[in-house]
């Protein structure tokens, strides 16, 4: 049952990330062509500032999901309702705080980009982009944490996929009709609101005993403050780059942020693809930990890490050789700023490796709720990012900011692997580093050969797609082959697990 639920969650999250990737690639291209790099840079920048303000959530979602694992596993309905009631209260408080902080941003943000765009447009864009987050706080969040904790995140993922497709189609139609960029983004917020009704209807039907107004068990969210700290760190590390570029680079800040944002379209798509596997499994690992099934946990984690690294290193190998060709085609008509930058592409590929190699260990840390225990390491990661980025941005621009992120990711990913070994599943570090080194050598060879064989300056998406398929096939064959030779039993375990899930599906 756990494997089947995990498969559903992974499949739905994977489908969602494919849909988000397609939408995330297509829509910005239309926005760039219709409205220019400055508008695209402003949208990217505003979204990052709103992400900072999203700290108002105060770790409610993460703490609520962790708190729900045990009562859901043991069928304690009253306890579940009390935790959800507490989550609702915290979400409402967070929504009010977020609204207040957004009002402040509406006033001060135009001063950061003075003279680059009309202040009225910028202020209204902030209001429109903030709308979807407000819907999350006041209405959707409490339902989502229940479904995520009960291994039904696939429901939210499928509904969000449908909403993303609808938003993309309507937005492109509005752009073709000559609508303003403000109207296009307002449609996205409207679609997000519609998603709420579908998620709510499912939750009400599946859980008729839901009571969000039960006596709130606020003490159950004891990890809330620790989860908040980790959330602060994550947002700092993942969004500092755009903020520093916006504030420090003066009159060309929006153009540089636009360049950064285009590369991040690919990076975010890859990150979301990879995290979709952990999102689908965290709740399952949480249940195993809650039931103290140590042997099951150790074996399942090894299988998961082996499977994840197969996918992860194929993705990194393909990104290393295909990123520059993709950017050259994607921005072929854009002349207001230089988008094709090989050094920047190499640093973004390194970021993807360092950020995601930690995912197996981080999945277990989240499932075990070890937020308080790892807050110091997380704080050091944020400090490294800020200090190095600020030290280098004035002399190296975007390159310096990316180097700061590389340093912070490198430290934290190494530390997470060691922490998992020391405190959660002993004996995993040696296996993890062995798998990383083995796959890293193969990936480096694939990237070097790929850059030599694949044209790095392309003018057609058809040509790019053909090379992408070839690179993908070669990467899969070599990486899977090497890992099969190195760990044949793990490969057989993976195949048997997949066949078992498929067999249950047929029956």
Q: Cα torsion for 299, 486, 306, 308, to the nearest 10°?
A: 180
- If you average pLDDT over residues 206-216, what whole number do you get? 77
The C-alpha angle with vertex 139 and arms to 134 and 142, in degrees rounded to 5, equals 115
Say how far apart CA 94 and CA 224 lie, in whole Å: 13
Q: What is the largest CA-CA distance in the chain?
A: 65
Per-residue model confidence as pLDDT tens digits over 17-41: 788 778 877 888 888 778 877 787 7
Per-residue model confidence as pLDDT tens digits over 266-280: 888 788 777 766 655
Q: What is the pLDDT of residue 290?
A: 56
- Look up residue 424 and give its two tokens: 């959660």
Is the model more confident about 480 or about 137?
Answer: 480
- Look up residue 168 and give its two tokens: 């993309």
Q: Provide the mean pLDDT of the chain.
A: 78
- If you average pLDDT over residues 336-362, what whole number do you get? 87
Question: Could you identify the residue written with the tokens 């490294």?
Answer: 384
The C-alpha angle with vertex 276 and arms to 273 and 282, in degrees rounded to 5, equals 155
Give residues with Cβ within 8 angstroms of 217, minimum separation 6: 79, 82, 83, 85, 86
- Look up residue 305 and give its two tokens: 């890490």
Give the lowest-confidence range in 212-221, 282-291, 354-363.
282-291
DSSP 141-177: HHHHHHHHHTT-HHHHHHHHHHHHHHHHHHHHHHHHT
- If you average pLDDT over residues 470-487, what whole number do you get? 90
DSSP 312-339: HHHHHHHHHHHHHHHHHHHTTT--SS--
Q: Cα torsion for 310, 311, 316, 322, to the nearest 10°?
A: 130
pLDDT at 494 over 80: no
Say how far apart CA 286 and CA 151 lie, in whole Å: 10
On whether the CB atoms of residues 311 and 320 are closer than 8 A, the answer is no
Q: What is the pLDDT of residue 1?
A: 45
* Residue 353 confidence class, pLDDT cut points 50, 70, 90: very high
Per-residue model confidence as pLDDT tens digits over 33-86: 788 777 877 787 777 777 666 655 555 666 677 677 777 777 778 887 888 888
- If you average pLDDT over residues 200-208, what whole number do you get? 81
Say how far apart CA 337 and CA 330 lie, in whole Å: 13
Indicate the length of the chain as a whole number.
507
What are the domain boundaries of the chain? 2-214+223-506
**Nearest to 262, CA basis, from 497, 36, 40:** 40
Per-residue model confidence as pLDDT tens digits over 213-239: 777 766 655 555 555 566 666 666 666
With b for 16 or more beta-carbon neighbours within 10 A and e for fewer, the 142-155 pattern comes to: bbbbbbbbbbbbbb
3-state helix, strand, coil in the chain (%, to 5): 85, 0, 15
Say how far apart CA 138 and CA 142 lie, in whole Å: 9
Per-residue model confidence as pLDDT tens digits over 133-167: 787 777 777 777 777 777 777 777 788 888 888 88
Percent of the chain predicted with pLDDT > 90: 12
Say how far apart CA 224 and CA 359 lie, in whole Å: 21
Q: Where are the alpha helices (DSSP H) in 424-460?
A: 428-453
Say how far apart CA 366 and CA 285 lie, in whole Å: 9
């Amino acid at each position: 049952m756990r494997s089947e639920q995990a498969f559903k969650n992974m499949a739905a999250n994977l489908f969602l990330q494919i849909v988000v990737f397609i939408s995330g690639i297509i829509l910005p291209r239309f926005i760039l062509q219709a409205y220019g790099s400055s508008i695209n840079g402003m949208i990217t920048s505003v979204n990052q500032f709103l992400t900072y303000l999203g700290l108002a959530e105060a770790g409610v979602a993460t703490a609520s999901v962790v708190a729900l694992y045990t009562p859901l596993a043991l069928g304690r309905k009253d306890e579940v309702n009390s935790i959800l009631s507490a989550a609702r209260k915290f979400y409402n408080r967070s929504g009010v705080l977020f609204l207040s902080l957004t009002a402040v941003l509406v006033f001060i943000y135009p001063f950061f980009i003075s003279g680059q765009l009309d202040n009225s447009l910028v202020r209204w864009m902030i209001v429109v982009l903030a709308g979807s987050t407000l819907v999350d706080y006041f209405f959707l969040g409490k339902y989502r944490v229940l479904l995520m904790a009960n291994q039904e995140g696939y429901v939210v993922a499928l509904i969000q996929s449908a909403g993303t497709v609808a938003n993309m189609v309507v937005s492109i139609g509005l752009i073709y009709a000559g609508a303003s960029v403000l109207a296009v983004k307002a449609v996205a917020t409207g679609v997000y609101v519609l998603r709420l009704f579908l998620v709510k209807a499912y939750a009400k039907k599946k859980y008729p005993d839901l009571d969000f107004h039960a006596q709130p068990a606020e003490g159950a969210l004891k990890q809330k403050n620790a989860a908040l700290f980790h959330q602060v760190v994550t947002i700092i590390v993942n969004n500092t780059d755009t903020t520093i570029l916006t504030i420090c680079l003066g009159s060309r800040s929006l153009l540089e942020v636009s360049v950064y944002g285009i590369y991040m379209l690919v990076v975010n798509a890859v990150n979301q693809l990879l995290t979709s596997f952990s999102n689908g499994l965290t709740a399952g690992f949480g249940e195993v930990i809650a039931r103290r099934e140590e042997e099951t946990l150790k074996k399942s984690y090894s299988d998961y890490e082996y499977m994840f690294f197969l996918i992860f290193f194929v993705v990194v190998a393909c990104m290393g050789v295909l990123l520059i060709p993709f950017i050259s085609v994607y921005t072929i008509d854009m002349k207001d700023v230089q988008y094709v930058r090989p050094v920047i592409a190499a640093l973004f590929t390194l970021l993807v490796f360092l950020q995601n190699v930690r995912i197996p260990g981080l999945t277990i840390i989240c499932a075990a709720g070890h937020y308080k225990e790892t807050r110091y390491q997380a704080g050091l990661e944020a400090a490294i990012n800020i200090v190095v980025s600020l030290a280098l941005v004035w002399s190296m621009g975007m390159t310096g900011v990316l180097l700061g992120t590389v340093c912070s990711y490198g430290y934290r990913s190494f530390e997470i692997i060691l922490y998992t070994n020391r405190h959660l599943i002993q004996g995993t570090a040696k296996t993890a580093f062995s798998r990383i080194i083995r796959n890293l050598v193969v990936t480096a060879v694939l990237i070097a050969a790929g850059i030599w064989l694949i044209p790095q300056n392309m003018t057609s998406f058809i040509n790019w797609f053909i090379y992408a398929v070839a690179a993908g096939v070669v990467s899969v064959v070599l990486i899977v082959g090497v890992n099969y030779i190195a760990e044949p039993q793990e490969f057989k375990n993976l195949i048997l697990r997949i066949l078992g899930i498929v067999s249950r599906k047929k029956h």
